[in-house]
Structure 1
């Protein structure tokens, strides 16, 4: 190429010498010399074009597209750009029953067209090129009913095809405000929507076209994902209908089973003797133990929403039953001791007063049948011992009568307590397992 240029330069030098002649010589300048000048100029241009070829590598193509600086959304006549999501992966990260939050993760493949990024494959013979994410426009989508949505790019680069099609992978994490039906806790099961939308205002923006979807990792902690279904409500309202259920084994062992065992121990405490104080001490210990149990597990109980967990009412009823059993046991112990009920009513009190009055009358009544002028001290002693033994026998009879009444009342209360406790547990378990509380999950769209 250098020889070509040097030869052309020499020819132009010779022609310039010939063209430096006076004006009279120009009139006689041959026509074929003029044609030679035109030919030499065209040949010089061709040589220079061949010596400096254009850059057609893949990286040069990427730099050419980057220099266009197309960082705005592709604009059309209808001002709406369609974003295809051919592949979507859903994952439940955790379920916060205290705050009623569903933490989810979405991995999506986004595909859209940007005609300004297309190129001629005859000049650049490549069908794909890699561009940095921050150098061109990329769409965004978010979860409508989420408190926090965070979208991240899976890579700093994306793939652009020769026809202007762009493909990119993103990952979205969100905290969805989902009021899960916790009325049946720990047998709770409900559905929760995860609404997916893209940015749009008026007639402008983007529109999502969702394709295939699948779910991974269906079990997290006490909750498990039973079903995941992609549905659509109205125009442009796409949402993932997530079916959730709690695994009742752990909550049943840590919450329900201790309350059942404590009440079972309280029912068994009726086998202890009514007198002596052993039963009362045991019942007081059960009440204190259950109170400490509630204080420890208060932070683990689910939050209070539209459908308040019935297990809170269950613990309240259990505590009332324990306290009621303790109070009745104390009252019956007093009845067995002195026959009084709440220090105002006495069982067998009138009979005791009549016996005492009779004894006083007998002591004050003069003995007119037998007059003993000289009564020995031994006879007086025997008479006093006899009266003492008679009084002791009367106290024993009264005590046995009071204890008999107390044991009869205790037996009646035991069967009432046993029937009520058993019926309560059967009814509570039935309500926990069968009753359904209705929750409006789409109030965020209203």
Structure 2
């Protein structure tokens, strides 16, 4: 048996404190593997605990198979939860830990065969007589999963089950979880802050921020069609480069996007996406460029739809199979709240004759890098400091290249930007383009 889980405008408030979850609506189909993804403190574990019955629903409605379930106890919901810290009984063997929930359900029933079949499924049949203290981290997590599987639950609820393991073991168990849940066909809700887990495991990914659901889509759509700046910045490694911009659309000339020191010229004829930018003339925008949207090459090698840019090499990260080149294009980065914070403002110092270090850095960059001027609010989520207050410069664009490309720190390199991979968001962070029908890399 597997269950459909539906949440309708669910909210959670602790006393008079701020809301942990706000108007959360989501439908999980029977047998679906859904991942709740977001930064720490965004409310994803609270949502999971409300589904399990470990937290009361302050407002809204939880439905299981279409029936109201707010009032049901955890046992009546028939779900199994896997925790981050394994939660095994240290004085019980693996056999006893796996069979413990079965003993609680029916003390008179012989559960030996069920325990052993579960252990064979997880490849831990040789560990049945060992205690948790005699097991490695990966083995203990398999036992914790075995305890959940042995109950034949209607749904699996997993709260960051792999976060305490090393990277190699995490990747191995991730593949095992994907295969196991697919074989069992049980509805699974999985909580994580690791986007790699979310993208590789989930049939769909639900991205949360500050207790509010931002987007629910397939992993591919979440990456290629982010609904807003937060989703675009949270999904993808390296993080998408976000730059402040202004559209120029003169009546007697070509359209362009002003990035500060440089402009992206939009070639004629304009695509449907870029035609929509005309109505944004003069308004503050945010441009997003993923690392694969830009390549280091001279203008003479431009392909259709590519426009020229240039940047100064700040540093390069060698990754073995590729390199990530960090560049300063003189653009003004946009700061995304909840993912990064601005440097605290310091008391002004007396400047030396000649301008001092800030002046020299500003001259090198040809302008200033924008940072937050004041705390971010809901009405001004991407407010920035103007050019009259210089800040320490840093790279504003990351380009993915082959491992054999050699660049010199401090040297200027030519860049080609593929406008088909250009993301534009309005001042509040909502995506303007690309339109859904024109997303590169998505099959029609």
Asked if TM exceeds 0.5, the reply is no
TM norm structure 1: 0.21
TM norm structure 2: 0.21
